[in-house]
Amino acid sequence: MTPIARTLLAIAALALLIATGLGAYASHGLEGVLEPRALASLDTAIDYHFFHALGLLAAAILVDRCPDAWLFRAAAVLFIAGIVLFSGSIYVTALGGPAGFGRAAPLGGVSFMAGWLALAVGALRR
């Protein structure tokens, strides 16, 4: 396995670990503690975190199989950015952090979409 693919695979596994842990904490530790709207936002952030960590896992596998395909590497980086910006900003605001962090969520959403586009274009070019 190439070093970059190994690194991306490890990041994907850790992202999935974190998403799973946050999901369990939200459903067992925060129900009744957070307002329903904040809990719903947190659930959405966890769902997107999980789905895009799976996308990152796929991109890591593709980077290993096609090391010359820069679009697969770009997709991986965009998925990581999306998880941090979209899900991360919602985590912070839902858990009582400054509302200003929420302004990063749209950038994360664009990163997610750009990541899927890079994956699609990379696949079509192969």
Cβ pair 125, 83 in contact under 8 A: no
* Closest C-alpha to 15, from 86, 116, 121: 86
| C-alpha span between 17 and 102 (Å, rounded) | 23
pLDDT digits (tens, 9 = 90+) for 34-51: 899 999 999 999 999 999
What pLDDT, on a 0 to 100 scale, did the predictor assign at position 30?
87
Token pair for 108: 């994360």
* Rg of the chain over all Cα atoms, to the nearest angstrom: 15
Q: For 96, left (φ over 0), alpha (ψ -120 to 50), or beta? A: left
Whether 33 has a pLDDT exceeding 90, the answer reads: no
Average pLDDT over residues 89-93: 96
Least trusted range by pLDDT, from 32-41, 50-59, 76-85: 32-41
Global pTM? 0.95
pLDDT band at 75 (very low <50, low <70, confident <90, very high): very high
pLDDT band at 8 (very low <50, low <70, confident <90, very high): very high
Q: For the packed helices 105-125 and 36-65, what is the interaxial angle rounded to 10 degrees?
A: 30
